[in-house]
Amino acid sequence: MDYIKIRFTNDFDQLESEFEKTFENMFRAISPMFTLAERKWKPQMDIYETPDEIIILAEIAGVNKEDLELEISSKAVKIHGNRTEFPRVENTTYRLAEIQYGRFERILYLPSPIDTEVVSASYSNGFLQIRLAKLLLDKTRKIPITEG
């Protein structure tokens, strides 16, 4: 007997989210004042690795260093913060409003375990760079054998 795999997902939530996003973008094009209350955005990120480390580069221009938080475990990194909106100019008509403001949060699952004690993070020119040392799990070493 052949079995059919059924994947249970909540497509309605995704459809609702897409509809909500389209609806908000339509009204935001009219005026940035027509946005939903608490909008989250996702900054662009790159993850790459060398034989010894994993490097994460996050594009978060306009976010103050004080508004960033970074949490790590041996398998994942959580980056979250807030980008505050620039003051609006009086008597203007917005023709385009694409810059996203508000809270953001990204959880990145790492391709290999890391040493949580050997981590560095730097923030420059709108880019957050996180360097994570890999755990050397398959490292071999010679054990001396003593007499007796």
pLDDT at 4: 47
Q: Which domain holds residue 16?
A: 11-37
Q: Average pLDDT, stretch 78-83?
A: 95
> What's the rounded Cα separation, in Å, for the pair 56 and 81?
16
Kindly state whether residues 78 and 31 are assigned to the same domain. no
Per-residue pLDDT reduced to its tens digit, 30-44:
655 555 545 688 999
- Is residue 25 domain-resident? yes
Per-residue pLDDT reduced to its tens digit, 121-138:
999 999 999 999 998 776
Strand order in the sheet with 76-83: 68-72, 76-83, 102-109
Kindly state whether residues 26 and 77 are assigned to the same domain. no
Per-residue pLDDT reduced to its tens digit, 94-123:
888 888 999 999 999 999 999 999 999 999
Q: Is the pTM of this model over 0.75?
A: no
Residue 35 phi/psi, 5-degree rounding, is -120, 155
What's the total number of domains in the chain? 2
Kindly state whether residues 114 and 129 are assigned to the same domain. yes
